[in-house]
């Protein structure tokens, strides 16, 4: 009887082991199958950090298409995505045109760098000079307006090739907002928007498209989020700010710009932070936003989205500086938390 008992125990052990070998992989796979799928689309400006966030976040699977801010706004308006992304906040008229109440969640701050190719590193430019280049009034690199800003630098007589966005773009919105703030002629003739009637230039789709044009065209100039400049090993200009200082596009410069407008941002996070006062402020700075409906049609997806946004406001901010973005000021995180809590 004793041997039979041992044999029975062994059979039970073997059966348990076999079941464990079969069940354990299924149990391990179950969380991935049970994860909520969130879909988003929009701005290319934050794509480097969003790619990082979506790869490390474990609370949901997030598919994001970097189609430009204009595309992101259209996608959330048409309700084909769970969230949109834009560097250009919605105007009051755009908010009214949405099928439901939309909240703006600033995620990080970023700098728009003025990149170039075929010139020495260390180039210095002012807003009015950049505006005149994009107006087609400055056409060669040795123009007196450029040489006056760069004493001692040997600048070629090479013709300037202008690169700009061809799609609706929040990066364009930030860039043209700056040009409109510093150049009365630009403000009158072109203005500021996600898409403008460009006087000159070759169009590229997305930040990566503009970077590709500049990289392949000696003598060219363009504007991209600074991470794209670094990824493509393209030099970028120091830009003269409102205080007369030439400032590089750094996270610290964006933070200084945001701090200069802290009071205005408390009233409305859509406030534009270009051309900020202060010696350290980088003048072509902006926030990038996630757009979401306040009343979610799918409660499961709504909970997953708010969980992700809370993570982005805490752990996610720790990835910002290493990817050349500026973490949000604490005051903006507090405002965001209130907005996230209002999503139902």
Per residue of the chain (344 residues), what is the pLDDT tens digit? 334 443 433 334 333 333 333 333 323 333 334 589 999 999 999 999 999 999 999 999 999 999 999 999 999 999 999 999 999 999 999 999 999 999 999 999 999 999 999 999 999 999 999 999 999 999 999 999 999 999 999 999 999 999 999 998 999 999 999 999 999 999 999 999 999 999 999 999 999 999 999 999 999 999 999 999 999 999 999 999 999 999 999 999 999 999 999 999 999 999 999 999 999 999 999 999 999 999 999 999 999 999 999 999 999 999 999 999 999 999 999 999 999 999 98
Helix, strand, coil distribution of the chain in percent, nearest 5: 45, 20, 35
| pLDDT, position 34 | 56
CA dihedral of 268, 269, 274, 279, whole degrees rounded to 10: 90
| pLDDT, position 132 | 98
CA dihedral of 64, 70, 73, 77, whole degrees rounded to 10: -110
Is residue 291 within 8 A of residue 85, CB to CB? The reply is yes
| pLDDT, position 33 | 40
């Amino acid at each position: 009887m004793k041997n039979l008992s041992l044999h029975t125990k062994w059979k039970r052990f073997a059966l348990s082991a076999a079941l464990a070998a079969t069940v354990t992989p299924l149990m391990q796979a179950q969380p991935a199958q049970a994860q909520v799928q969130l879909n988003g689309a929009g701005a290319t400006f934050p794509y480097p950090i969003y790619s990082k966030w979506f790869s490390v976040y474990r609370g949901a699977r997030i598919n994001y298409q970097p189609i430009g801010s204009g595309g992101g706004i259209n996608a959330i308006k048409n309700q084909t995505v769970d969230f949109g992304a834009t560097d250009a906040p919605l105007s009051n008229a755009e908010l009214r045109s949405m099928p439901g109440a939309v909240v703006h969640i600033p995620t990080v701050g970023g700098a728009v760098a003025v990149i170039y190719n075929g010139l020495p590193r260390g180039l210095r430019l002012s807003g009015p000079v950049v505006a005149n280049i994009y107006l087609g009034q400055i056409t060669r690199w040795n123009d007196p307006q450029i040489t006056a800003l760069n004493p001692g630098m040997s600048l070629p007589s090479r013709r300037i090739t202008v690169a700009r966005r061809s799609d609706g773009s929040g990066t364009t919105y930030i860039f043209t907002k700056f040009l409109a703030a510093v150049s009365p002629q630009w403000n009158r003739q072109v203005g500021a928007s996600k898409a403008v009637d460009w006087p000159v230039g070759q169009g590229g789709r997305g930040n990566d498209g503009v970077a590709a044009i500049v990289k392949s065209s000696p003598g060219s100039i363009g504007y991209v989020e600074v991470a794209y400049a670094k990824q493509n090993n393209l030099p970028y200009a120091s830009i003269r700010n409102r205080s007369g200082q030439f400032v590089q596009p750094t996270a610290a410069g964006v933070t200084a710009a945001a701090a200069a407008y802290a009071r205005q941002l408390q009233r409305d996070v859509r406030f534009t932070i270009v051309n900020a006062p202060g010696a350290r402020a980088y003048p072509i700075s902006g926030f990038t936003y996630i757009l979401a409906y306040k009343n979610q049609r799918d409660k499961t997806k709504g909970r997953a989205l708010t969980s992700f946004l809370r993570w982005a406001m805490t752990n996610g901010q720790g990835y910002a500086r290493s990817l050349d973005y500026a973490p949000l000021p604490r005051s903006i995180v507090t405002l965001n938390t209130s907005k996230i809590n209002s999503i139902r």
